[in-house]
Amino acid sequence: EMFGQLTSGLESAWSKLKGEEVLTKENIAEPMRDIRRALLEADVSLPVVRRFVQAVSDQAVGVGVIRGVKPDQQLVKIVNDELVKLMGGEVSELTFAKSGPTVILLAGLQGVGKTTVCAKLANYLKKLGKSSMLVAGDVYRPAAIDQLVILGEQVKVPVYTAGTDTKPSEIARQGLAEAKKKNIDVVIMDTAGRLQIDKGMMDELKEVKRVLNPTEVLLVVDAMTGQEAAALVTTFNVEIGITGAILTKLDGDSRGGAALSVKEVSGRPIKLVGRGERMEDLEPFYPDRMAGRILGMGDVLSFVEKAQEVMKQEDAEDLQKKIMSAKFDFNDFLKQTRAVARMGSMTRVLGMIPGMGKVTPAQIREAEKSLKIMEAMIEVMTPEEREKPELLAESSTRRKRVAQESGKTEQQVSQLVAQLFQMRVRMKNLMGVMEGGSIPALNN
Ligand code: GDP
């Protein structure tokens, strides 16, 4: 399994926190050592590991307790968020030229899967509705040109070739002209790789780049090379200037070091990943999905996220003050009801919110439906009406207007208003403040 060793290394970190109440400087020391070891064993670059571990422990110690969330779950969430950040946060889309063909220049060492990527990329672009043309620029290996032609036929994309006697920069110029003539959307230029970085290769790439003025310069790197991939991306970026990397062979037993180091070390994002030998096996690099796969704890993550959302401290405090002062209005009502609805769908996911009891799917659907109805009515209220529900209690004209504008009945509006005042009273009682909250009768 992809990154399996990293995953189990991290698991041992969480397991050390079982039975703890909160995260402390003391009790995270051992899990942090596990995390550090797991990353180093995955061949993540050492400075990256150091920064990562520091960032995670800083957050772990400072994190507040979220009701219902255990410390090990909290640490999973922190590590996840840092992993996502480490890999660049958002997905890095390919850039397309505003006019004329988009030119993608591919570079990379020999054997990393560059030729295969050319065809995979054309296939990928086809699914995006873009036509492409491959240009065979690897003039040192005649077999590479043949291979590109065969792969081009396989994905039904034209391949421009000019044999092995033409300079790559000249082939590039001709290929680009041909693509313009044929109104092709994307030109994908294959270039020669060497076994190692050498000056000849770099000079040639610079020349090809100058001729093509490419939209994207992507370095193809083999994920199996671990943190070495990050060093390669850095070197190519300094030498020729690249816009991103394509990581191949993620389906093999790569340990994760490349995926985790490239962005942080080189400053350039991984844009696409190859995960197999078939033409379909190329996809965008999604940092969040990758982190999710590494941790293998999708449900814990969504649980913690939802709990955080619901428990937003300020909201809660704000609400509490409002309740204490009997100022609980329709804005708060909406917030509260939405929070409860979210809690509802959360219990559906995990059935583990303390004190919520068992909620059936039917109940949740019902609650969500009535939330929609309430939202519709509150939406058409004036800001004044939202803040002073008394206005609606006192005036049937107002209630009629709300009913009409929201497409509900006047009775539904009256119910909503009554419900708000009932809620005020219930909440005041809950808070132990007994005086005050009477439920006004609705005037006609
Ligand atoms: P180039 O020298 O960089 O052009 O490399 P090739 O495109 O010829 O690929 C070298 C070998 O790696 C071939 O056998 C490919 O089938 C294989 N390969 C390329 N990409 C992937 C990948 O994502 N996964 C796997 N498993 N093999 C790949």
pLDDT at 228 over 80: yes
- The pLDDT value recorded for residue 254 is 83
CA distance 194 to 279: 24
Q: Which two tokens stand for residue 295?
A: 């941790």
Task: Tell me what the mean pLDDT of segment 145-164 comes to.
Answer: 95
Nearest residue (CA) to ligand 1, atom 6 = 113
Nearest residue (CA) to ligand 1, atom 28 = 277
Q: Which ipTM did the prediction report? A: 0.97
Task: Tell me what the mean pLDDT of segment 378-405 comes to.
Answer: 92
> pLDDT tens, 103-126?
999 999 999 999 999 999 999 999
pLDDT at 418 over 70: yes
pLDDT at 354 over 80: no
> pLDDT tens, 212-223?
999 999 999 999
- The pLDDT value recorded for residue 355 is 40
CA distance 377 to 389: 13
- The preferred substitution site among 114, 115, 116 for testing ligand 1, maximizing ligand atoms within 8 Å of CB, is 116
Higher pLDDT: 141 or 342? It is: 141
How many helices (H) and strands (E) the chain has is answered by 19, 8
Ligand 1 neighbourhood includes 158 CB (under 6 angstroms): no
Ligand 1 neighbourhood includes 114 CB (under 6 angstroms): yes
Q: Distances in Å between the alpha carbon of 436 and those of 211, 389, 393?
A: 80, 16, 17
In which band, very low, low, confident or very high, does the pLDDT at 32 lie, cut at 50, 70 and 90? very high
pLDDT at 3 over 80: yes
Ligand 1 neighbourhood includes 193 CB (under 6 angstroms): yes
Task: Tell me what the mean pLDDT of segment 197-204 comes to.
Answer: 89
Task: Tell me what the mean pLDDT of segment 373-399 comes to.
Answer: 92
Question: Where do the DSSP E strands lie in 252-307?
Answer: 270-274, 282-284
**Domains of the chain listed by start with CATH number:** 4-89 (1.20.120.140), 102-285 (3.40.50.300), 312-430 (1.10.260.30)
Q: Of the ranges 253-257, 356-360, 365-369, which is most confident?
A: 253-257
pLDDT at 277 over 50: yes
In which band, very low, low, confident or very high, does the pLDDT at 304 lie, cut at 50, 70 and 90? confident
Task: Tell me what the mean pLDDT of segment 278-297 comes to.
Answer: 89
- Residue 375 CA to ligand 1 center (angstroms) comes to 54
CA distance 422 to 400: 21
How large a percentage of the chain has pLDDT more than 90? 58
Q: Are 397 and 391 in contact (CB under 8 A)?
A: no
- The pLDDT value recorded for residue 181 is 96
Q: Of the ranges 19-33, 115-129, 387-401, which is most confident?
A: 115-129
In which band, very low, low, confident or very high, does the pLDDT at 4 lie, cut at 50, 70 and 90? confident
In which band, very low, low, confident or very high, does the pLDDT at 351 lie, cut at 50, 70 and 90? very low
Ligand 1 neighbourhood includes 251 CB (under 6 angstroms): yes
Q: Which of 259-263, 278-282, 285-289, 427-431 has the lowest mean pLDDT?
A: 427-431
pLDDT at 434 over 60: no
Ligand 1 neighbourhood includes 269 CB (under 6 angstroms): no
Task: Tell me what the mean pLDDT of segment 19-33 comes to.
Answer: 90
What mean pLDDT, rounded, does the chain reach? Answer: 86
Beta bridge partners of 219: 107, 245
pLDDT at 167 over 80: yes
Task: Tell me what the mean pLDDT of segment 343-364 comes to.
Answer: 52
- The pLDDT value recorded for residue 352 is 41
Q: Are 209 and 240 in contact (CB under 8 A)?
A: yes
Nearest residue (CA) to ligand 1, atom 5 = 113
Nearest residue (CA) to ligand 1, atom 19 = 113
Gyration radius from the chain CA atoms: 30
Higher pLDDT: 187 or 368? It is: 187
In which band, very low, low, confident or very high, does the pLDDT at 344 lie, cut at 50, 70 and 90? low
> pLDDT tens, 308-321?
776 665 566 666 66
HEC-encoded secondary structure of 73-125: HHHHHHHHHHHHHHCCCCCCCCCCCCCCCEEEEEECCCCCCHHHHHHHHHHHH
- The pLDDT value recorded for residue 318 is 66
- The preferred substitution site among 114, 277, 278, 283 for testing ligand 1, maximizing ligand atoms within 8 Å of CB, is 277
- Residue 33 CA to ligand 1 center (angstroms) comes to 36
Ligand 1 closest atom vs CA 112: 3
Q: Which two tokens stand for residue 274?
A: 């190859």
Letter string b/e over residues 117-139, b meaning 16 or more CB atoms within 10 A of that residue's CB: bbbbbbbbbbeeebbbbbbbbbb
Strands 186-191 and 216-222: unpaired
Task: Tell me what the mean pLDDT of segment 283-295 comes to.
Answer: 90
Nearest to 193 by CA among 219, 174, 167: 219
**Residue 282 identity:** L
Residue with tokens 């009790």: 27
Q: Which of 129-143, 150-164, 332-346 has the lowest mean pLDDT?
A: 332-346
Q: Are 396 and 410 in contact (CB under 8 A)?
A: yes
Ligand 1 neighbourhood includes 317 CB (under 6 angstroms): no
Higher pLDDT: 300 or 78? It is: 78
> pLDDT tens, 9-25?
999 999 999 888 888 89
pLDDT at 353 over 50: no
Whole-model pTM above 0.80?
A: no
Ligand 1 closest atom vs CA 190: 4
